[in-house]
Amino acid sequence: MTDSPAIPPLSRASLDRDHASRMREGSLEAALADPSTRVVLVDGDRTLVADGAIVRVPVDRVPYGARLSWLGRSAGHLEQEQGAVVLAATVDGGIVDGAGDGQELGAWRSLREIGAELDDEDAGILTQAVALARWQAQTAYSGVDGSPVSFVQGGWVGVDGAGAQHFPRMDPAVIVLVTDASDERILLGRNAAWTDRFSLFAGFVDLGESFEATVVREVAEESGVTVEHPRYVASQPWPFPRSIMIGFEAVALDPEAARPDGEEIVEVRWLTRDEVRAGVVGLPGSASIASYLIQRWLDR
């Protein structure tokens, strides 16, 4: 790990989303007619990357029938001028131009894999594009009457057969770095799905529950530890599929009570800074807010 960044990696963004323009009727058509517009191709959570940057293709490279969405206006990035529109196009199975996989343009890389390595504008673009594409895919049919949903306002509003509008949603979840009273150790847990990777404790916010109450409940449920003084640190979108991670720190009242719940978490360990730096356990990927919170603790 290196020094912690100022904010979590997927919270970075310099793109002007320009809500007013995307809400105008014909905004996508106007963008497609502008030769300065560039398009980011999205397949699941992947996009094409070359030389450490997202490949932005001209509008004539957009696959036929791809769903287009408005992302915003560039702050001036590599070959794209300031104020030029950036769109996203969802592609099926990495198909570009109706044939071929686009490998001559770059390599398909996932947001988890490349998110922390991208610059601010590209990190924000890919996080937004993946989140929007996943919401659209999961909103193809109305949850009210089952009718097909069409997308307007640059892909940001769905309209069903009855005219009801459907808006993007995110599911809030807390993620908690638990320390002992001396701040010399952190508590990490291993999920049942992992072999050697440990991470922080996390969980979704219940209806009628505050972030702070979720911190106390989730840590107790997963590790058996009671915490106090939950303190907000930072947040990060996590579009897998549509979460917003709310990062906290909290102090354990009863460190020796630590034990896994045996279902979701199968092992817990208290680790010092030296042990974390030595790599005695596998740690979260660099694009995660868990990695950011751990590095922030290591640096102080």
Q: State the pLDDT at residue 61.
A: 87
- What phi and psi, each to the nearest 5 degrees, are found at residue 230? -65, 130
Cβ neighbours of 237 (radius 10 Å): 20
Cβ neighbours of 104 (radius 10 Å): 9
Average pLDDT over residues 204-208: 98
Asked if residue 253 has pLDDT above 80, the reply is: yes
Asked if residue 1 has pLDDT above 60, the reply is: no
Give the amino acid at 263. Answer: E
Average pLDDT over residues 53-62: 92
Residue given tokens 């009718």 in the structure block: 147
pTM of the model: 0.93
Average pLDDT over residues 105-115: 94
Over residues 159-197, the pLDDT tens digits come to: 999 999 999 999 999 999 999 999 999 999 999 999 999
Q: State the pLDDT at residue 45.
A: 94
Sorting pLDDT into bands at 50, 70 and 90, what band is 67?
very high
Sorting pLDDT into bands at 50, 70 and 90, what band is 99?
very low
Sorting pLDDT into bands at 50, 70 and 90, what band is 240?
very high
Which residues neighbour 205 within 8 Å (Cβ) at sequence distance 6 or greater? 172, 173, 174, 211, 214, 246
Give the DSSP H/E element, type plus range, for residue 23. helix 19-23
- Structure token digits, residue 202: 């996390």
pLDDT averaged over the chain? Answer: 94
Average pLDDT over residues 51-72: 92
